[in-house]
Copies of this chain bind each other. A is one copy, B any other.
Amino acid sequence: MMEIEQLWKEIDARVACLPVRTVSLANSLHRVTGAAVMSPCEVPSFDQSSMDGYAFAGTPPGICRIQGSLSAGTPLSQSVTSGTALRILTGGMIPEGTVAVARQEDCSVEGDLVTLRPGLSISPGENIRRRGGIVRTGDLLIPAGTKMTAGGIALLASVGREHLPVIGNASVLHLVTGDEILGPGVPLPPGKTYDSNGPMIRALLCDLGGEVAQDRLADDPDVLLRKVLASSADVLLISGGSGPGDRDHTRGVLESAGFSIHVSRLNSRPGKPLIFATKGSRIAFGLPGNPLSQWVCFHAFVKRALCRLQGLPVPGMRSVQQISAVKESTDPRRTWTPGILECRDGQEMVRPLPWKHSGDLTPIIRAEVLILDADKSGRANVMIL
């Protein structure tokens, strides 16, 4: 029986980043940059006013005649000379001859004459943003390995980038196995169960950015093998049949398909019958069919592999004060308990949400963390979901 930490090491050792692809800037949100991005240009690309005000040819300017107005986006055709000024708006190009821009609230205007208010002064260069003053051509904008945010998108848009190299999203084939599993839309015949793993895994992958195809199969190893052999997905998830029983086909099918099995029995509750296998750069997980077990195994193990593939940081554990105790179990396996985070006087704390029994899905609706080895209250190791 493998330990949880050993499985994490196996995943880290066997799962590498997917190749880099180029996507549109809009589609780069939440993806990880596959190369450093340097600026192709200077920002700003021209000397510009940072305020609404007046461009003067000297400091102090004296009384100047207003010769015209420059708003942002207007091509530059005027210049200022001693004794003249130009009205200029934020973002407007600094006209030739300008020494400084005075803010409009610092100026007195009478008719077409403008001067600084009494007692005020301006320094050379004041309220002028210089060409290249924010970013120079070739400056590093975003390092490789950065998870793209709305802010990163804004920065790259500001230098005119339209596309971006990012680490690929994992393609996932999810096969739900079990003669008893039915899709929605039909009344439930005796002995059958509606599929909840399919919709759950689809939602979990949506949060991670994976691209998922799904299928429901009967408990037939030949059918399963054909599906596995026909797939070229980066990740294969097989729900149900991961145990050692007579009707559990996942391990045998993966072996027939040429996968190497790295774990098939884990010291984890839930998650004892978990399979992790690889074939070259392809990854497969056999997941217990119970939806609770599936949900825990996804967060604790599958997500780590998907993060490795997509260049994202793997989910880490951190130590948090536990608010209430959970019932001790006679099961010797190491146990995951869902929990929620609370903040008390700036101190982060975790409240366990024990499930009543193995069919009780209610805690996972609102769980924010998984606690490993929760028991009495005290400090607990949690994984943020």
Contact = CB atoms under 8 A, between A and B. Distances in A.
A130 to B, nearest CB: 11
Contacts of A193: 44-45, 72-73, 91, 158
Contacts of A340: none
Contacts of A26: 199, 202-203
Oligomeric state, in copies:
2
Nearest to A198: B157
A149 B365 contact: yes
A153 B199 contact: yes
Interface residues of A, number: 92
Contacts of A158: 193-194, 196, 291, 361
A323 to B, nearest CB: 13
A50 B357 CA distance: 11
Interface in A198-220: 198-204, 206-207, 219
Contacts of A159: 194
Interface stretch (A179-187, A279-287, A307-315): A179-187
Contacts of A185: 160, 162
B190 A93 contact: yes
Interface string A147-180: 0011111110111111000000000000000111
Given A184-B161, A200-B150, A190 B75 contact: yes
A20 interface: no
A200 B26 CA distance: 9
A200 B365 contact: no
A364 B188 contact: no
Interface string A283-317: 00000010100010000000000000000000000
A199 B154 contact: yes
A366 interface: yes
A73 B192 contact: yes
A190 B154 contact: no
A179 B365 contact: no
A157 B134 contact: no
A28 B324 CA distance: 32
A295 B151 contact: yes
Nearest to A187: B160
A134 B348 contact: no
A197 interface: yes
B191 A162 contact: no
A29 interface: yes
A136 to B, nearest CB: 13
Contact of A188 (B89, B160, B188, B192): B160
Interface in A337-385: 343, 346-348, 357-367, 379
A108 to B, nearest CB: 17
A247 interface: yes
A16 interface: no
A72 B247 CA distance: 9
Given A184-B160, A190-B76, A245-B52, A200 B151 contact: yes
A43 interface: yes
Contact of A203 (B29, B89, B247, B358): B29
A152 to B, nearest CB: 4
Given A72-B193, A73-B181, A73-B192, 16 more contacts: A45-B193, A71-B247, A72-B179, A72-B247, A73-B191, A74-B191, A89-B246, A134-B357, A142-B365, A150-B201, A150-B207, A151-B366, A153-B199, A154-B295, A157-B184, A347-B347
Q: Considering the complex of A and B, which 3 residue pairs feature the smallest CB-CB distances, nearest first?
A: A73-B180, A151-B364, A73-B179
